[in-house]
Chain A
Amino acid sequence: MILLVLLGFALIVALELPGLLKARYWRELIVFALLTAGAFILSLLLVFGVELPYIDSVLIEVFTKLGLTLK
């Protein structure tokens, strides 16, 4: 599973990186790297079974606390 994730990210990088370097899109490269790193960390966390909060659950909680729900 971890291998698969690694492989997947390696592929993404392999697909995008040469093009970015070639065209000298440095800004793009930075954003790309940031996003990829974020995605990579998150997916690793998922793979390792770290329990992340569920987005909808969080939203429901927040809005309930704010008293902004229907019903």
Chain B
Amino acid sequence: MKKKWLWWCLLLLTGLSSGCWDQRELERLAIVSGIGIDLHPDGENYQVSFQIIRPDDVLGGRGGTGGGGGGGANKPFWTLKAEGKTVFDAIRNATFESSRRLFLSHNEVVIINEEVAKKGIFPIIEFLMRDAEPRLSEWLLVTPDQAEKVLQVESKLEKVPAAGIAHQLQTYHATSKVRAVSLYDFANHFVQKKTAGTMPVIRIVETDGEKILKLEKTAVFKEDKLAGDLDYRETRGLLWVLGEVRGGIIVLELPDDGATVSIEISEATGKISAVVKERPLKMQVEIDLEAILGGQSTEQNLVTPEKTNFLEKLTAEAITGEVEAALSKARQLGADIFGFAEHLHRYHPQVWKELQKEWESYFRQLDVTIKVKVLIAEVGLTRRPAILFGE
């Protein structure tokens, strides 16, 4: 029994004598919330910029205590640039200019410049996966601008711009015209046979002399290289197939009077199946949509069985159109962004073995049938159009 204390002493002794290598006091950490990766002007090295949170200033503004620094309020973040032969190298080189060690565990976004993306992002993804600090859940984006500049654009609502970008991505539900891609999602493409990865594209837009970040398009990667992009409509086409559509508006134009009807997406599923009996095989995409009649510019009452049926048909056509657009773009790029290959691998491994080798050329002329089922389940609060003039 008396030995117990000896033990504790021993434990403490070894502990104390061994010191504290991994100890990093909070106040000695530079919390990185965003990483931007550009090519260095010399074309060889990477130039990596970090958005580092300054906690004091983040909180300082919130309480409205004023005073603070007295003069011009500090920005709640600081953008640090560093260059290196690899991303990792650049991270360590950053300490030349930073008083604190960079801490990547709370990083939220990684913004990759187009040029870098065209060269291939495999080394970047590889590093992010291997290192213990970055997380699988951080968002990946591509930008045609300098990634460093993107990181410097202040968010109008959030204190920390990177958090702003992350939130901006997560509101994709509203339109389903942008795809949010995390490191985990993207890395999965690397291990999944021939599926092509995508990433959202972010850009600096200037409105009223103020710089604002805007999510545009979706970048398509072939293997690890940027190959092309999808616009909003094509992106939603892609999301339909993937079953990732969560919300958004489909605007229909009525053929008889040219009025517009907005259909709100409430629930959608997408399913891929393959018909493997015949060659060349056919893929089938089934999309199931539950929608809400959201608004109309015509005076006729659309809440009748026939009219709703008609609307459903129109919606289905619109969706088919979107998917077709995405499909043709994908065929043109030769990038299987829909994961047809993965589907074959999972459900028809035998067939997949057969097609594996020439999958890309096969994909380019793959026959895809699209089946869309639409159900308008709700019509909003009004039972007939809110018109100005009584009958």
Contacts and interface: CB of A to CB of B under 8 A. Distances in A.
Interface of A: 4, 11, 15
A70 to B, nearest CB: 24
Contacts of A11: 10
Interface in B1-29: 3, 6, 10, 17
Contacts of B10: 11
B17 A4 contact: yes
- In order of increasing CB-CB distance, the 4 nearest A-B pairs are A4-B17, A11-B10, A15-B3, A15-B6
Contacts of B6: 15
Chain A interface helix/strand/loop/mixed: helix
Nearest to A3: B17
B10 to A, nearest CB: 7
A15 B10 CA distance: 12
Contacts of B17: 4
Interface string B280-291: 000000000000
A54 B386 CA distance: 82
A15 B5 CA distance: 13
Nearest to B3: A15
4 contacts: A4-B17, A11-B10, A15-B3, A15-B6
A57 B47 CA distance: 41
A30 B307 CA distance: 98
A15 B3 CA distance: 9
Contacts of A15: 3, 6
Nearest to A11: B10
Nearest to A14: B6
Contacts of A4: 17
Nearest to A7: B13
Interface in B39-95: none
A58 B10 CA distance: 34
A11 B6 CA distance: 10
A5 to B, nearest CB: 12
Nearest to B18: A4
B8 to A, nearest CB: 13
A4 B10 CA distance: 12
A4 B3 CA distance: 20
A26 B208 CA distance: 92
Nearest to B13: A7
A1 to B, nearest CB: 10
B16 to A, nearest CB: 12
Nearest to B17: A4
B15 to A, nearest CB: 12
A4 B6 CA distance: 16
A11 B17 CA distance: 16
A4 B17 CA distance: 9
A3 to B, nearest CB: 9
B7 to A, nearest CB: 10
Interface string B166-196: 0000000000000000000000000000000
Nearest to B10: A11
A11 B11 CA distance: 12
A11 B10 CA distance: 9
Contacts of B3: 15
A6 B74 CA distance: 55
Interface string B358-375: 000000000000000000
Nearest to B7: A15
Nearest to A4: B17
